[in-house]
């Protein structure tokens, strides 16, 4: 009995904390692993949908990681990808239905992109790389961390795209209130288009690697 | 190693469990989703008449202002009238008419099948003005676009227009859902001076640079040509169906 207690590591041991924090910075799924770019381009025109998207991915990835981790010893390896896909699809449909019922306006803005969480490479990547080989609690933290890392970048990108593309922050007309338009400033329509999200992500990657030299591969 | 039998059993059990969870969730959430959709429809109808309603008071505002709902057929006869919360004549309530089904019926009708196309009209009345609100659906670039147009009592002048879409390009086609675009429709007319049906056209390059009468044209969206054309087609195709009814009312 006492031996078993000794074997157990505390819930927030250094190792577990790391699972949660490294994806936010050093091992960010978007800027370092360069995964999940597709949806980062699509939903970052405005802050609000980006935020809801981030929350949805957190829910899907954290719960999905736990489910896969619980099933990890039962899943036949030959059909594991399909099993993972079914778990993701089920969770995504649930999220979509819940949004439709309780956050109707936002769900309309996100439209197909909630469904496209299914194709988000981060999710399957974490299922396959982490949850299939780890216990539920670390898997949960890993899912939370990776989804939060993804969401963080999404929100940063959305902030700049909304500010420069529409002159607003979370729908609040900041530039108009500051009177920037009266001195001849105009919104940059290019920021609304997907390519600028790629460039924004590129700039974030550049800044991050400039600050953290160990990320630079030669 | 896992046997084939195990793999099949695992797959079957998993799929059954997932299906049960999902259908359970769908059943529980359906009333909420339907209420959202109903509220949204009411809000849109009221918005065309420039009455803003929130999701919370949509039902109340709707029953206050929209006292009459009509369903007319393609010959212009009224085949359903819903008034003050009950059917006065006919069986079909305008609010329950699904535009998508009617578009399909219209297609069948054009192909020579004997089907009836139901055309809904909402009569807005706030005591001082009477508006005829017509819902419509058409095709944009990526998916369906929707419109709700309020015509004044003369059944000719546009009082207000609201457009929405399923997935048009943000910043381009999606601009049809903005106030700036919709405001242009105010006071446009769908019949010319001689009483011929012309609809309202969304003009690429701007009405000022074209030979279209400004009374029947609005400026298109730069970079959103296909969506703009979709709006033009939707307006023309829909109003066209109502012309027999309009004629009978004059």
Q: Looking at the domain assignment, is residue B50 inside a domain?
A: no
Q: Looking at the domain assignment, is residue B194 inside a domain?
A: yes
Q: Looking at the domain assignment, is residue B198 inside a domain?
A: yes
CB contact under 8 A, A100 and B21: no
What confidence tens digit (pLDDT) does each residue in A158-198 have? 999 999 988 888 888 888 888 888 888 888 888 888 888 88
Which residues in A lie closer than 8 A to residue B18 (C-beta atoms)? 86-87, 90
Q: Looking at the domain assignment, is residue A126 inside a domain?
A: yes
Q: Looking at the domain assignment, is residue B62 inside a domain?
A: no
Least confident of A7-16, B19-28, B70-79, B94-103: A7-16
CA–CA separation, A8 vs B2, rounded Å? 30
Please, are residues A143 and A131 in contact by the beta-carbon 8 Å criterion? yes
Q: Looking at the domain assignment, is residue A28 inside a domain?
A: no
Which residues in B lie closer than 8 A to residue A87 (C-beta atoms)? 18
Structural domain total, chain B: 1
Geometric angle at alpha carbon B91, from B85 and B94, rounded to 5°: 60
Checking if the pLDDT of A4 tops 70, the result is no
Encoded tokens for B132? 């005829």
- Burial of A210 (C-beta count, 10 Å sphere; 0-12/13-18/19+): exposed
Q: Looking at the domain assignment, is residue A174 inside a domain?
A: yes
Cα B155 to the chain's mean position, in Å? 17
Structural domain total, chain A: 1
Q: Looking at the domain assignment, is residue B205 inside a domain?
A: yes
3-state SS of B101-158? Answer: HHHHHHHHHHCCCCCCCCEEEEEEECCCCEEEEEEEEEECCCCEEEEEEEECCCCCEE
In chain A, which residue's Cα lies nearest the Cα of B167?
A: A111
At residue A111, the 3 state secondary structure works out as coil
Return the closest-CA partner of residue A118 out of A142, A91, A146.
A91
Interface of B with A in 73-112 (CB under 8 A): none
Cα A117 to the chain's mean position, in Å? 10
What confidence tens digit (pLDDT) does each residue in A103-137 have? 888 887 776 778 888 888 889 889 999 999 999 99
Return the closest-CA partner of residue B220 out of B186, B189, B175, B179.
B175
At residue B71, the 3 state secondary structure works out as strand
Checking if the pLDDT of A49 tops 70, the result is yes
CB contact under 8 A, A79 and B7: yes
Q: Looking at the domain assignment, is residue A10 inside a domain?
A: no
CB contact under 8 A, B33 and A111: no
Q: Looking at the domain assignment, is residue B89 inside a domain?
A: yes
Interface of B with A in 160-189 (CB under 8 A): 166-167, 170-171
**Mutation site, A45, A97, A192, interface B, largest B CB count within 10 A:** A97
Geometric angle at alpha carbon B3, from B1 and B7, rounded to 5°: 110
- Residue A168's domain comprises 38-217
> What is the count of residue pairs from A and B with beta carbons less than 8 Å apart?
56
Q: Looking at the domain assignment, is residue A15 inside a domain?
A: no
- Residue B166's domain comprises 68-249
What is the value of pTM for the model shown?
Answer: 0.75
């Amino acid at each position: 009995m006492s031996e078993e207690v000794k074997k157990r590591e505390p819930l927030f041991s250094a190792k577990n904390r790391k699972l949660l924090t490294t994806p936010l910075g050093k091992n960010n799924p978007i800027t370092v692993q360069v995964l999940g770019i597709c949806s980062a381009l699509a939903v970052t025109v405005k802050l609000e949908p980006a935020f809801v998207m981030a929350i949805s991915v957190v829910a899907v990835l954290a719960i999905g990681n736990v489910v896969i981790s619980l099933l990890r010893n039962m899943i036949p390896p030959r059909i594991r990808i399909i099993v993972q896909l079914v778990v993701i699809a089920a969770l995504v449909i649930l999220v979509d239905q819940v949004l439709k019922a309780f956050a109707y306006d936002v769900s309309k803005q996100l439209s197909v992109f909630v469904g496209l969480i299914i194709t988000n490479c981060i999710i399957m990547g974490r299922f396959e790389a982490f949850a299939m080989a780890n216990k539920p609690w670390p898997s949960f933290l890993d899912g939370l961390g990776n989804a939060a890392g993804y969401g963080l970048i999404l929100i940063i990108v959305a902030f700049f795209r909304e500010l420069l593309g529409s002159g607003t922050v979370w729908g609040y007309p900041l530039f108009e209130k500051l009177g920037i338009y009266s001195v001849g400033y105009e919104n940059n329509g290019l920021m609304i288009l997907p390519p600028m999200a790629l460039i924004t992500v590129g700039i974030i990657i550049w800044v991050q690697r400039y600050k953290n030299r160990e990320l630079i591969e030669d | 190693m896992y046997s084939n039998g195990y793999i099949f059993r695992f797959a079957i059990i998993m799929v059954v469990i997932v299906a049960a969870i999902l259908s359970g969730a769908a059943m529980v959430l359906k009333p909420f989703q339907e209420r959202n959709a109903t509220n949204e429809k009411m809000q849109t109808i009221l918005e065309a008449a420039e009455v803003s309603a929130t999701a919370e008071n949509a039902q109340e505002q709707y029953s206050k202002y929209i006292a009459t709902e009509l369903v007319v057929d393609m010959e212009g006869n009224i085949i359903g009238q819903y008034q003050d919360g009950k059917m006065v004549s006919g069986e079909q309530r305008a609010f329950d008419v699904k535009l998508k089904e009617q578009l399909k019926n219209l297609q069948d009708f054009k192909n020579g099948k004997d089907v009836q196309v139901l055309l809904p009209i909402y009569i807005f009345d706030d005591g001082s003005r009477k508006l005829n609100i017509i819902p419509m659906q058409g095709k944009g670039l990526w998916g369906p676009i929707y419109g709700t147009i309020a015509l004044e009592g003369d059944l000719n002048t546009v009082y207000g227009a609201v457009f929405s879409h399923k997935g048009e390009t943000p910043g381009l086609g999606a601009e049809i859902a903005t106030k700036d675009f919709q405001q242009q429709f105010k006071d446009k007319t769908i019949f010319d001076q001689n009483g011929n049906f012309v609809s309202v056209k969304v003009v690429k390059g701007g009405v000022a640079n074209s030979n279209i009468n400004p009374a029947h044209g609005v400026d298109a969206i730069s970079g959103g040509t296909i969506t703009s054309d979709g709006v033009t087609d939707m307006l023309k195709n829909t109003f066209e169906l109502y012309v027999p009814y309009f004629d009978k009312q004059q």
